[in-house]
A and B are shown apart, each in its own frame.
Chain A
Amino acid sequence: QKEVEQNSGPLSVPEGAIASLNCTYSDRVSQSFFWYRQYSGKSPELIMSIYSNGDKEDGRFTAQLNKASQYVSLLIRDSQPSDSATYLCAAPNQGAQKLVFGQGTRLTINP
């Protein structure tokens, strides 16, 4: 199993709906997670981080962490066309000074 896995998509969601992005992870990563958004041709930018079990909300974004199921997700409420991007899930590798990234999920919000 890869350290961090994401469904590469593409995921298509109508404007105004909730977009749900998912990530699973192995025991080889520390249980702290970072969601990055990457627009085409640009570098990743941090959206949210989550370290504890449960939900963490920031504006239209909610990160959810379930350590028992080794599952982390990002919900985007009231999706906007500007949310169309690739979303990357990342976690620090256990014992190593590096972030491990999933393959990313390409999200398209349709007007």
Chain B
Amino acid sequence: KAGVTQTPRYLIKTRGQQVTLSCSPISGHRSVSWYQQTPGQGLQFLFEYFSETQRNKGNFPGRFSGRQFSNSRSEMNVSTLELGDSALYLCASSFLGALSTDTQYFGPGTRLTVL
């Protein structure tokens, strides 16, 4: 069974631009979660989608948004990029979401650099 895929793997943008990242979950998984990882803040939760609905959102500004399609693929968008948005963006998929025993599997991540 194929794992979680993310595209692109690397991105370089300049301040003020916007970016869209894509995630394809493991076949059969309906939940997709997004995380931002930086050296200073660690892994921080952005949002989670299940059956095209956002069920939870982390403490990030409105510049960060996402969506999920009927085939469970998900995209996240960051508008008006800031230097501090430079990070590794990770997507994780699971059957049902962050329930007590549901395992999340991570994709390889997208490394975003904002200049």
Contact = CB atoms under 8 A, between A and B. Distances in A.
A105 B31 CA distance: 27
Interface stretch (A13-21, A58-66, A68-76, A89-97): A89-97
Interface string A85-111: 000100011001111111110000000
Given A97-B56, A98-B56, A46 B105 contact: yes
Interface residues of A, number: 24
Contact of B106 (A44, A92, A98): A44
A-side interface mostly:
loop
Contacts of B31: 97
B48 A32 contact: no
A80 B100 CA distance: 31
A98 B108 contact: no
A32 B100 contact: yes
Contacts of B81: none
10 A-B pairs closest in CB distance: A101-B43, A32-B100, A92-B98, A97-B56, A43-B106, A98-B45, A97-B55, A97-B97, A97-B48, A30-B100
Interface of A: 30-32, 34, 36, 42-46, 49, 51, 88, 92-93, 96-104
Interface of B: 31, 33, 35, 42-43, 45, 48, 50, 55-56, 58, 88, 90, 92, 97-109
5 contacts: A36-B106, A97-B56, A98-B56, A101-B43, A103-B42
